[in-house]
Amino acid sequence: MKDKVEVKKITSKSEAAKLLRELAEQVEAGQVKVGEVTVNLPESFECELEYKVKEDKHQIEVEFEWKG
């Protein structure tokens, strides 16, 4: 597997909300699909929600992290 898989696209608020709902369902099921990669989640892990502004660019990031 690649060290990093990243999926980027321009989206509307409603499409982003749909993506987040689908992500939530996947997290509850224990498997998240990122591009063509399916990731099995452990029972518990660190979850970080971050907002930052750098110059003109605003960014909200959701990050899940665990060892293993």
Distance set, CA 49 to CA 5, 27, 28, 58, 59 (Å): 19, 15, 18, 14, 11
| pTM assigned to the model | 0.87
* Selected residue with higher pLDDT from 17 and 68: 17
Name the amino acid, one letter, at 11.
Answer: T
3: number of Cβ within 10 Å? 4
Mean pLDDT of the chain: 95
- The domain locations on the chain are 13-65
CB 40 within 8 A of CB 66: no
pLDDT (tens digit per residue) in 28-59? 999 999 999 999 999 999 999 999 999 999 99
